[in-house]
Amino acid sequence: MRLNDLLIPKKTAIIKKWFALAIDTYPADTAKFLKSQKDPFANPVGRTIYRGLEALFDELLKGMDIENITSHLDPIIRIRAVQNFSPSRAIRFIFFLKTAINKSLGKEIFQEQLIKDWQLFESKIDELSLIAFNLYTQCKEKLFELKANEIKNRTFKAFERAGLVSEIPAEAPNLEPINHITKEASDDV
């Protein structure tokens, strides 16, 4: 018996537990809403997280296709980066998959023939967290860049309104009068 043989039949239960644990990282009122609101249009965050977790679980069962994992993890991490989660809090939900599996399978995963499969699966979860951390860092860098550009644009517009800056003309300045003055000065010598 392989670990996947135990995980696949309990996939729905595991994902529901994983989702509930992930949502519990939000404030109580938000978590309650995200768990209870089933309408995907009223709760796009909850839907995005649930669908992402489901796809990530499938990828962990199949293998570790980094591009697929990144595409499923990215929307979740973007949400958490915008919501100002700390890095550890933003990716903590990934480790909750271990808890969800332990609660769903219990002592079954600690059977002697499954220990190596479980250790391999845990290492995949750990690798998933590293991918998530990289994504979170990229998202935060982009957010800081956008904020810096916004501040720069606001400052420039304020200076422009105050008359402290002006646009540089598109045409090159006419240097003829300067040459004329220079020529007169050299004739006087």
108 compared with 58, residue with greater pLDDT: 58
CA-closest candidate to residue 50, choices 37, 64, 66: 37
Instruction: Identify the pLDDT of residue 179.
Output: 57
CA-closest candidate to residue 43, choices 27, 31, 57: 31
Distant-in-sequence, close-in-space partners of 128: CB < 8 Å, separation ≥ 6? 56, 60, 69, 73, 94
- Here the tokens at position 24 are 């519990």
The string of pLDDT tens digits covering residues 167-183 is: 776 776 666 655 555 56
The string of pLDDT tens digits covering residues 88-138 is: 999 999 999 999 999 998 888 777 678 889 999 999 999 999 999 999 999
Taking all residues of the chain, what is their mean pLDDT, rounded to a whole number?
Answer: 87
85 compared with 17, residue with greater pLDDT: 17
Domain boundaries of the chain, sorted by first residue: 3-161
Instruction: Identify the pLDDT of residue 185.
Output: 58
Q: How far is CA 123 from CA 29, 96, 142, in A?
A: 33, 14, 29
For the whole model, what pTM was predicted? 0.76
Burial of residue 94, with CB atoms counted within 10 A of its CB: 0-12 exposed, 13-18 middle, 19 or more buried: buried
Q: What percentage of the chain exceeds 70 in pLDDT?
A: 88
Q: What share of the chain is helix, strand, coil (3-state, %, to 5)?
A: 80, 0, 20
Q: Mean pLDDT across the stretch 37-55?
A: 90
Instruction: Identify the pLDDT of residue 73.
Output: 97
What whole-number distance in Å separates Cα of residue 135 and Cα of residue 145? 15
Q: Mean pLDDT across the stretch 62-74?
A: 93
Q: What percentage of the chain exceeds 90 in pLDDT?
A: 53
Longest dimension (CA), the chain: 104
55, pLDDT greater than 60: yes
